[in-house]
Amino acid sequence: MIDSRKLMSCTLELLQEEVLQEVQPMLDISKEDLIEQIIKILFYMSSGSEICKIFDLEAVGKKHEDFLIKYKNSEGSYYDGKLKAENEKMDEIAEKDQTMCKFETVCTEQKKNICKLNDCYSDLLGKMDTEMAKKDEQFKMGRTERKKRQESFKRFVERLQELRLIGLGTFLNELLEVKSVSFDSMKHTKGLVAECLSELQDVKAFLELEWHLKRKLEKEKQDLELKLRYQQGIIMDLEDEAGRRVVELAQKEKQLKVLEMMVAESKRNLKEKEREILDKDEEKREAIRQLCLLNEHYRENYNYLTRHVSSMLQSKRPS
């Protein structure tokens, strides 16, 4: 991302260029007016008295000073207005970015809630299917038991027909026995049927409750989907706006890259100049080193000559 200070400086430069382009015609007009006033003053000076000329010159100078003061004030207010407008645009962009982030967060939370509701709905349907399978199995078992009782009663009737031929005594004894067994079996079967009916009523009530809950969840899901579509539309609008802003920022980045390339070129030139200066300094140090060595050589020769001359003078002195 581009640094805010660099972006602000680039914006100020563009504003200055726009202001100069807008103010340049005013400057040209003021120059033409000034030339006309000077021509009038010269013409008047050639025909009027000196005192009137001086007063007129002072009036014209004051007029142009007032014009320059007004021009400076208008230029300052124009700059301030442009800068304030750009600051308001930057604040508006920042607020839109924050709003888009908030909408994205809300949409993410809504999607999570919808996923949770779907999972809860799937679990609930699984439980209902399992419970219905159990009840169907119990109902099938009751129906099988009832068929067994009917077959037993049918065999009993057939047995009665056989016993009618055998004898009444044996028939009565078996009738009492079968009656007691059938009574107990019917009583047990009635108990099972009553229990199944009670469980069936419970299942029916549970299914009605689950159906109402399902309708409620579906309604909440539809409401959430409507909200999600609305928020997605807002997000798409914000994304389009952000795309336009990104294009503008990309153009600013290109301008910044051009400036960075110019700065890099300036740095390379500066490094080359520094390298040349260092090379020249090295040559100067080498020359100074050679001069020092030469000076040391001359000093040694001088000392040698001094000692030699002193020895010669001492040898020539009369003893």
Contact 9, 251 (CB under 8 A): no
pLDDT score of 78: 59
Residue carrying structure tokens 């021009």:
71
pLDDT score of 298: 81
Task: Name the stretches of the chain with pLDDT < 70.
Answer: 1-83, 85-87, 96-97, 103, 107, 110-111, 118, 121-122, 124-125, 128, 135-136, 139, 142, 153, 156-157, 159-187, 189, 316-319
Q: 159-167 long-range CB contacts below 8 Å, 24 or more apart?
A: none
C-alpha dist (Å) from residue 159 to 155, 163, 308:
6, 6, 169
C-alpha dist (Å) from residue 228 to 19, 116, 121:
47, 15, 19
Structure tokens at 112: 């999570």
pLDDT score of 304: 83
pLDDT score of 184: 65
Contact 80, 9 (CB under 8 A): no
pLDDT score of 29: 47
pLDDT score of 30: 47
pLDDT tens per residue, range 165-221: 665 555 556 556 656 655 666 667 677 777 777 777 777 787 888 888 888 888 888
pLDDT score of 37: 54
pLDDT score of 47: 46
Instruction: Estimate to the nearest angstrom the gap between the alpha carbon of 20 and the chain centroid.
Output: 38
Contact 75, 23 (CB under 8 A): yes
Phi then psi for residue 167, to 5 deg, are 170, 150
Its pTM stands at 0.24
pLDDT tens per residue, range 1-25: 445 555 555 655 665 565 556 555 5
Structure tokens at 134: 């159990």
Structure tokens at 145: 């038991």
- Widest CA span in the chain: 197
Contact 57, 41 (CB under 8 A): yes
Rg over alpha carbons for the chain, rounded to the nearest Å, is 57
DSSP assignment of the chain: ---HHHHHHHHHHHHHHHHHHHHHHHHHHHHHHHHHHHHHHHHHHHHS-HHHHHHHHHHHHHHHHHHHHHHHHHHHHHHHHHHHHHHHHHHHHHHHHHHHHHHHHHHHHHHHHHHHHHHHHHHHHHHHHHHHHHHHHHHHHHHHHHHHHHHHHHHHHHHHHHHHHH-HHHHHHHHHHHHHHHHHHHHHHHHHHHHHHHHHHHHHHHHHHHHHHHHHHHHHHHHHHHHHHHHHHHHHHHHHHHHHHHHHHHHHHHHHHHHHHHHHHHHHHHHHHHHHHHHHHHHHHHHHHHHHHHHHHHHHHHHHHHHHHHHHHHHHS--
Q: How many Å apart are CA 319 and CA 316, to the nearest integer?
A: 9
C-alpha dist (Å) from residue 195 to 145, 192, 199, 207, 265:
14, 5, 6, 18, 95
pLDDT score of 77: 63
